Amino acid sequence: MKKVYIYSCLLILGFLGLSQISRAQDVNYSQYFSSPLYYNPAYTGINTGLRARFLFRDQWPSLPIDFKSYYFSADIGDRNLPGAGGIGIMINSDSPGAGLINTLQAALTIGVRVPITSFMVAQIGVKAAIIQRKVNWDDLVFADQLDPKYGAIYQTSFIPPDANSRVVPDFAAGGILQFSNEPGNITGSLGFAVDHLFKPDVSLLSDGSAPYPRKWVVHGDAVFSAGAGSSSSMYGGNSDPLMISPGFVFLNQANLNSLEVGLNLLKFNIYLGGWYKTTMTGNTNNAIALLAGYRYNFMEDMSIKFIYSYDLQIAGVMQGTGGAHEISLILELGGFSLFGGGNGSGSGGRGFVPTGRSKGYGPLECPTFY
């Protein structure tokens, strides 16, 4: 009976994923600060240098079939690029249909920087992507395959469509206002983005419709440097101030709202944080995301970060699902440039050029908290 029950669940999930009119939300990462290009392409090159980010999410591990998502991005900020912003790539993969439906997105992102004052900059970004949605028909179980006693033992009469995948273009746009005080010990940003601008249709059925609903994103954060030093000294020197970073991200997609708000701390290269997450609409689900991590500095302007977070369900129908695990790995090469002098110092040459604030960094060009 348990086997038949699992097959029935798979059948229902498969039907939901292939229905003539289908709507769903994109995966929502708890470590949104570790996957910035996924939420807003304006993050592309927001700070000078090269940053590569890897993130893995395992959601609801206590269920018979969990949901796994993978994220990778790399972006370069070089103020000698046309537009003085940056370029980047992003790849995101997840399985919204219990492993039966797989979605892959590959994108190119571009950021353009618009200086306003010495301590305020606007950055605009666009994303051009392709989305591939693929269904594994062989793993679907249909009603005519089931026997009340022995489970799925019969051959199905279902004839799958000729196509088992769909590839469509997708676009996103966003903007960020970045600001700092004159000493540079307080920085912050406020951003807005919209994804799936033209609602790409990923239905595999000729008479079906499965448009991606637009996703609206509003986010903000601040970084406070407490104690000796400033945010610019976090990569070297004797001072090691406590870094405090509150933030939030609000998402709206398909008439569903979600909010994530919390606080991260950094001291002695150790990250600690806590975030509250709520879906706000529909069947409300509340969770607390707790995180810890470590940053290792190879040298000035070169570091690697490891951050782990766990979603603890505290209310809603998702209690008992095992929450969610997330692991992120971030490589930063703060002095890397494509055209030489990526920090505006005019040092010349390409590749990795060790730099510091004394060689051209302003308050808005210092490595970010994350």
Q: Which amino acid is at 7?
A: Y
Between CA 366 and CA 189 the distance in angstroms is 14
Coil, strand or helix at 141: coil
Looking up tokens 């003085």, which residue turns up? 84
Kindly report, residue by residue over 162-178, the tens digit of the pLDDT: 667 789 999 999 999 99
pTM: 0.81
pLDDT for residue 149: 74
**Token pair listed for 215:** 């996703």
pLDDT for residue 81: 74
**Token pair listed for 226:** 């407490």
**Token pair listed for 235:** 């990569």
With a CB cutoff of 8 Å and minimum separation 6, the contacts of 279 are 256, 257, 258, 285, 286, 316
pLDDT for residue 29: 94
CATH topology of domain 23-134+166-359: Porin (2.40.160)
Q: Which amino acid is at 138?
A: D
Partners of 356 in beta bridges: none
Q: Do 271 and 294 form a contact (C-beta atoms < 8 A)?
A: yes
Q: Within the chain, which residues score under 50 in pLDDT?
A: 1-23, 229-238, 341-361
With a CB cutoff of 8 Å and minimum separation 6, the contacts of 223 are 186, 187, 188, 231, 243, 244, 245, 368, 369
Using CA atoms, how far residue 167 sits from 90, 131, 133, 202, 256, in Å, is: 17, 5, 7, 7, 26
Diameter of the chain measured on Cα atoms: 76
Cite the DSSP H helix spans in the chain.
Answer: 2-18, 36-39
**Token pair listed for 334:** 């703060």
Of 20, 101, 76, whose CA–CA distance to 337 is shortest? 76
Sketch the domain layout of the chain as residue ranges: 23-134+166-359
pLDDT for residue 255: 84
pLDDT for residue 153: 72
Q: Do 272 and 264 form a contact (C-beta atoms < 8 A)?
A: yes
How are the residues of the chain apportioned to helix, strand and coil, as percentages rounded to the nearest 5? 10, 50, 40
Q: Kindly state the DSSP code that residue 40 receives in the 8-state scheme.
A: -
pLDDT for residue 213: 93
pLDDT for residue 21: 39
